[in-house]
Structure 1
Amino acid sequence: MQDWKFTRTQLDNGLRVIAAEQPGALSVAVRLFVAVGSRYEPENLAGISHFLEHMVFKGTKKRPTARQISEAIEGIGGQLNAATGFEYTNFYAKVTPEHLETAVDVVSDLVLNPLLDPTELEREKGVIQQEISRYEDQPETYVSLLFQRLLFPEDPLGRPIIGYRETVAGVRREDMVEFLNFHYRPQRAVLVGAGRLDADELVELARSYLGEWSPGPERPEPELKTVDGGPRVVVGDKPTNQVHINLGVQAYSLWHPDRFAAMVMNSILGEGMSSRLFLNVRERLGLAYSVYSYVAGHKDTGQLVIYAGLDPGRFDLALTTILTELDRLRQEPVPADELGRAKERQKVALMFQLERSENLSAYYGLQETVLGQVMTPQERLERIEAVTADDVLRVAQDLFRAERLRLSLVGLNRPAEELEAKLQL
């Protein structure tokens, strides 16, 4: 079994540095995480975290143009990117080992020294508006945005990470500067390096490039805003050839002890071509080309979601078939062989994932940034292996209750009240 080792060092300014050495790797991935995402935004500035992620690539004091930034990494054969989530933003460079310092330099420069040029800011608004249009034009994405709002109607988790057209259009440079100066502070940041590197060298580079970063004031953490009752179905108005649905429930947080049982249950339900949804909805009945499920976790909540693209004329049969599979998980213990296969899929998927330096850096960085602690891959594998059929049955009975189900769909002109009456188990 692979022995994943990592070191964690905290600098005087609060920055945490994690080094995961992979001696046989041919690359090194560097990520700088900051614990801020769309959950931390006021509603009138929805999307500013993602907008800021775009803007830092437009120029810094050291590299005043976007081309200079990209060529600093791409010119040595590397990769440069960034991503924004609900609870984090991260900036990423992957290079060959001899260019570790350049990677640390560039990701640090993006965070500490962005120019946020007003002309570039106005131009980038148009880029993000087109990004919003692209998501709205993709039914599979659009139905998930509808579902997110349905599941978290009063919480920032219900808003798209990218924001709305009107909020993006209203962002001013001073808004972005204020947001950056408040949230982008070292006590909320994690520098992660994974691959062929020396841990001591990474720590020294962190001190050199990020050691003078000044801590800022502490902030309150977001609390989940819940709503009792409310609609259980939303129907989007978009012409499509298929009916696209999201059916799911609020589920477990990244802290919850049952999250591993939920992962294994989800694998049985809708991961891969041997899952129950694939075998019954697609292979046995021919009701969908694409059907799958997934789980996602946050600090204080999570979700389990099923997606399917369906023939409008066979929607009722498909919905009934999916609900039958949910009820089956509540009523019948999973057979030992099926449980074993699901756990093996989860474990092997994790091992395959962590072979790559960019994934290993994300694995450690996300946990440390969002949760403030790291579960080692070894421990994660052990927790998956410990899941029993009784655990899966208990979790299914907890999550799959009619009153918890939510359904979003596009491509079907049916009253929401009629569809809500079908959400029975």
Structure 2
Amino acid sequence: MIKPFFHTLANGLRVVCVEMPHLHAAELAIYVKVGGRNDPPGREGLSHFLEHILFRGTADYTSSLEIETAFEAVGGAPNAATDAESTCYYSRVHPAHVRQGMDIFASMLLRPLLEGIEVEQRIITEEAREDLNEQGDEINPDTIASRLLWPRHPLGMPTIGSLESIAAIGRTDLEAHLQRYYVPSATVVVVAGPVCNHEVFVAAGEVFNGWQGSAPPATRLVNRRNTAPQIRFVRDSDSQMNLQLAFLGFPRGDRRFMAVRLLRRILAGGGSSRLHLRLREELGIIYSVEGAIGAYDETGCLTFDLSTAPNNLHQAVEVSLGEIGRIASEPVTAAELERVRHSYIFDLEYSRDSAYEMGVRYGWGELIGIKRSIEEDQEEARRITVDVLQEAARDLFAPQNLNLVVVGPNKMGMKKTIRELVARYAEGFNSYPGPAGQFTR
């Protein structure tokens, strides 16, 4: 039986323990509520850079090698990730050595040397170049779509930053960012595995009680929406066209969010999904299609990614928009909804076998303010009806929410053709029957 327990230290640090006695390894993670959307202008990529530099050495472990070997001694292998709004440091550890794992992470967060900046700059610069073409243009569809979804806002910037902003980051920037955002009130420590909550809370108190810091600055929120579809073409020498259809979506606390999860599965959730069947199995013009959900406090998105030959681009866009429009205009069958619902509920069941996934559910969930049990998600999924699903699709796939990105060897006439397809989608969508104003609000 999986049991999550929650405790807050006197300094505001939240500690989560997920008892999973059937496992043999524990997952230790530290979530900090800072990411790309918190980077100051001209220093985009600072949160990601700081995540990297904390592995360069601390007052107790003077090099990345010493940090790695310290984790190896407790059965771990440390890693980290930075996204738009959070940074996570995590490692598997032996259940008997959770306290030691906390000690190492505490040393990284509270006593870093902040050395090796120039070396790390070169490493991150090479990472950033992977998203640029020979002319230095951005070719990552995710980043291009984000700029369309959230123009002139930090959410529209790449988490890694630009070549210019990466080069501008210095020690003073790193120190200020660390002091401003790496504070106990904006941090969650989570341990999931065959552990006892009392022992975890005691260990966290001993390791982190001396940590102090003021509340971090308020986050700048998105406050505008597009009024028409957005299209962006980027020329690249690749042999295929990389296509992303990104729809501006709902905040993660929105009542329609569960419906969006099921819509993603219906359209691009595996071998039986609509886009997979039409584009791959029937037409043979793609290898795969992926759907992904992004969600924040005040906004979100649903994206579909695929690649195809230049000659097939017109058909791929036409079919994709046709299937997306159809799910808004025609109710899905009860059988299709039930199949997707069961798949989602079963995946939730399977997540009980993963200490990592339970750490994300209860640790990251605590950080962003949404604590939901597996049972609560399953029950909400069971309440989704065909009508609720169609209502969400009508709101989500409205033309003004569409942001289309095409990256590849653009050919003459291609842009005009795609713009005509998008215009046809908008015209057809707005003619769907339904309550007045349902699709154009």
| TM-score category, normalised to shorter length | over 0.9
8 Å CA contact 1:154, 1:225 repeated in 2 = no
Question: How far off is 1:184 after superposition?
Answer: 0.6
AA of the residue aligned to 2:128: I
Q: Which moved more, 1:146-155 or 1:409-418?
A: 409-418
Question: How far off is 1:225 after superposition?
Answer: 4.0
Deviations 1:222-260 (A, max 9, x none): 211425447711111211111110012111111111100
AA of the residue aligned to 1:413: N
Rounded Cα–Cα distance in structure 2 between residues aligned with 1:416 and 1:39? 32
AA of the residue aligned to 1:61: A
Aligned to 2:106: 108
Deviations 1:382-414 (A, max 9, x none): 111211111111011111122221100111425
8 Å CA contact 2:17, 2:191 repeated in 1 = yes
Among 184, 187, 190, the residue aligned to 1:186: 184
**CA distance change for structure 1 residues 217 and 78 in 2, over 3 Å: closer, same or farther?**
closer
Instruction: Describe how 1:353-368 pairs up with structure 2 within 5 A.
Output: 353-368=351-366
Rounded Cα–Cα distance in structure 2 between residues aligned with 1:45 and 1:357? 35
Question: How far off is 1:29 after superposition?
Answer: 0.6
Question: How far off is 1:69 after superposition?
Answer: 0.2
Aligned to 1:369: 367
Rounded Cα–Cα distance in structure 2 between residues aligned with 1:314 and 1:94? 45
8 Å CA contact 2:2, 2:352 repeated in 1 = no
Question: How far off is 1:360 after superposition?
Answer: 1.1
Q: Alignment partner of 2:353: what SS?
A: coil
Instruction: Describe how 1:267-346 pairs up with structure 2 within 5 A.
Output: 267-346=265-344
Rounded Cα–Cα distance in structure 2 between residues aligned with 1:135 and 1:4? 41
Deviations 1:305-358 (A, max 9, x none): 111101111111111111110111011111111101111111222222341112
Aligned to 1:25: 23
What's the TM-score, normalizing by structure 1?
0.95
8 Å CA contact 1:155, 1:226 repeated in 2 = no
Q: Alignment partner of 1:262: what SS?
A: helix
Rounded Cα–Cα distance in structure 2 between residues aligned with 1:63 and 1:230? 53
Rounded Cα–Cα distance in structure 1 between residues aligned with 2:216 and 2:107? 23
Deviations 1:4-35 (A, max 9, x none): 32111111100000100000111001111111
AA of the residue aligned to 1:421: E
Question: How far off is 1:221 after superposition?
Answer: 2.4
8 Å CA contact 2:55, 2:108 repeated in 1 = yes
Aligned to 2:162: 164
**CA distance change for structure 1 residues 91 and 174 in 2, over 3 Å: closer, same or farther?**
same
Q: Alignment partner of 1:226: what SS?
A: coil
Deviations 1:170-229 (A, max 9, x none): 001011101100111001110001001111111111111111101314421221142544
Rounded Cα–Cα distance in structure 2 between residues aligned with 1:211 and 1:187? 12
Question: How far off is 1:369 after superposition?
Answer: 1.0
Q: Alignment partner of 2:140: what SS?
A: helix
Among 33, 48, 51, the residue aligned to 2:46: 48
AA of the residue aligned to 2:36: S
Aligned to 1:135: 131
Q: CA RMSD in A?
A: 1.9
Deviations 1:353-379 (A, max 9, x none): 3411122111212111122x4111111
Aligned to 2:234: 236
Among 36, 39, 43, the residue aligned to 2:37: 39
Rounded Cα–Cα distance in structure 2 between residues aligned with 1:158 and 1:350? 31
8 Å CA contact 2:138, 2:144 repeated in 1 = no
AA of the residue aligned to 1:126: R
8 Å CA contact 1:105, 1:209 repeated in 2 = yes
Aligned to 1:396: 393
8 Å CA contact 1:269, 1:277 repeated in 2 = yes
Question: How far off is 1:418 after superposition?
Answer: 4.9
Rounded Cα–Cα distance in structure 1 between residues aligned with 2:147 and 2:229? 11
8 Å CA contact 1:78, 1:94 repeated in 2 = yes
Unaligned runs of 5+ in 1: none
Aligned to 1:123: 119
Tell me if 1:406 matches 2:403: yes
